[in-house]
Structure 1
Amino acid sequence: MSDAATPDSRPYGFEVVRLARLEARLVTYDWAWARDNAERIEQNWMRRRAAQPALFDGPVLVACGCAIDGDSCRLDLFETPYSRFLTYRDGGSPDGHVANAFAAIVPWSADGAVLLGRMGVHTANAGQIYFPCGTPDLDDVRGEAVDFSGSAARELLEETGLRVPDGATEDWVCLRGEGQLAFLRPVRFAEDAAALIERMEIHALGEDEPELAGIVAVREAADIEAAMPGFVRAYLASAFEAETGAAEVTP
């Protein structure tokens, strides 16, 4: 994994690179680590399923290449079973050639809050607080291209009931660290935080088993919590002025 860009900063150990263009494509990749660790993968999957029976070993897309040139990014992804990806991630991403790449919408309210979800107990990331997102899969493939924008919008809708507003800008922030490539798309909504949270809570009431156990509103750097993964804390630290705690007017 390599690029030629200079990161904006390294909050919480993550590089923060702002992008105007993101292209992702599906490629063929021979993942040697997965072949060499077949027994470990099986054991980890059995352990995970015992704790969370709802987990499903379907195909997901994982990154094997990332090239950033200025404010443009080209991402290569390949298909692999979820059990392999999960074992790899649980083990701290030991193979430097592969990264957990995903996209997410960052909902900004009209009154300057960032809204995040607390994951439900039945999910693989129970208790963690982050933006509605998921590992890309074959539903996101369009020919040879992988639709990261559509993947992020779909996850937002499924988890919160919110739709990306018409005409929303499509700028991205790439957070890279801890074996992750998090592509975040900040989107400003017309409603204030209270109205958006109410809509999200109503959506959750209509689901048999909602992914989110609750909504968290962040208005300043002091609201950053330990339950937030590193990429979330890195984004929030860069999006809010640490010294004054004032939210940036434009995400």
Structure 2
Amino acid sequence: MNGEARIRRVTRVEAFCRPFDWEWPKRNRDFIAENWKRRTAGKPQMFNGRVLLLQDVQFEQDLCRNIYFEVDYADFLGWIDKDYPDPAIANGFAMGALRGSDGAFICGVMGNGTTNAGRIYFAAGTPDPNDLRPDGTVDLATSLTRELAEETGLAEGDYHVDDEWIIVQRWPTIALLRMVTLPVPAEEAAARIRAAITAQEEPELQDVRVVRGAEDIDPERMPLFLQSFFGWVFDQR
């Protein structure tokens, strides 16, 4: 299932949350409980809240339509740590492809207290009930800017967000990216973000990395979908 990525551009993304009876967690309660205990050892900031996973993705011309459902975070982590045993489910999230005015990208290095400590990728988070609207839609655009603010300290007035979405499908991940461009070079922006991280009481990031070209892709610490995205971007230059 972890084959080559499918990458496409769309002008619109629609997302909805619908009830879904996920069988896998019901059959794996003991594993999920033990896995959660292992995962949270020494990480008191982790809590078992609710998150949204993808049960369906469809494309219609320039539209990407996503259907989510709610699960416990512990169930989500159990699914990850069992090596994604249910191929009908995917982890789908919005993500800002942050870059400086010079075109270089800026990724975060996840902090030691997080689930993905040491991993390198753009600021992002799995959607959760905070992203739900009264009409049942999932506000992925706001999720993107909120995660940027929480992790990097950047506010919406600090950058420009492209209207276009870039969908990177590399199961079990579906990343919905928008280009986010700062008015300053990447190194200057990276210094500002590092200062913001230092000022945070419980930062999610421990550092940032500037990615200028294919030589900066880290196959050990970057997820496959991000490696695919960077390869696609740099091939177009």
TM-score strictly above 0.5: yes
1:113 match: 104
Which is worse superposed, 169-178 or 31-40? 169-178
How far is the alpha carbon of 1:238 from its aligned partner? 0.5
TM-score (norm 2): 0.93
d(CA) in 1 for partners of 2:153, 2:217: 24
Deviations 1:40-89 (A, max 9, x none): 11111111112533211001111111111222111000111100001101
Q: How many residues align?
A: 233
**Cα gap change, 1:178/1:92 in structure 2, threshold over 3 Å: closer, same or farther?**
farther
Work out whether residues 160 and 182 of structure 2, in 8 Å CA contact, stay in contact via their aligned partners in 1.
no
Q: CA deviation at 1:17?
A: 1.7
1:235 maps to 2:229: yes
* Secondary structure class of the residue paired with 1:134: coil
Identity %: 36
Indicate the residue corresponding to 1:220 in structure 2.
Answer: 213
5+ unaligned residues in a row in structure 1: which ranges? Answer: 1-9, 242-246
Paired with 1:167 and 1:161, the residues of 2 have a C-alpha distance of 15
Which shows bigger deviation, 163-172 or 197-206?
A: 163-172
The one-character-per-residue Cα deviations of 1:217-241 (angstroms, maximum 9, x if unpaired) are 0111111002101011111001112
Task: Say whether 1:100 aligns with 2:100.
Answer: no
In the alignment, which residue of structure 1 is the partner of 2:144? 152
CA deviation map 1:145-179 (0-9, x unaligned): 10001001000011001134576322111111231
What residue in structure 2 maps to residue 176 of structure 1?
Answer: 169
- The TM-score normalised by the length of structure 1 is 0.88
Alpha-carbon distance in structure 2 between the residues aligned to 1:50 and 1:187 = 35
Which of 65, 75, 79 is the equivalent residue of 1:84?
A: 75
Distance in 2, matches of 1:111 and 1:33, equals 46
Residue 188 of structure 2: aligned partner: 195
Looking at structure 1, the residues matched to 50 and 31 of structure 2 have their Cα atoms a distance apart, in angstroms, of 18
Aligned structure 1 segments of 4 or more residues deviating by more than 6 angstroms: none
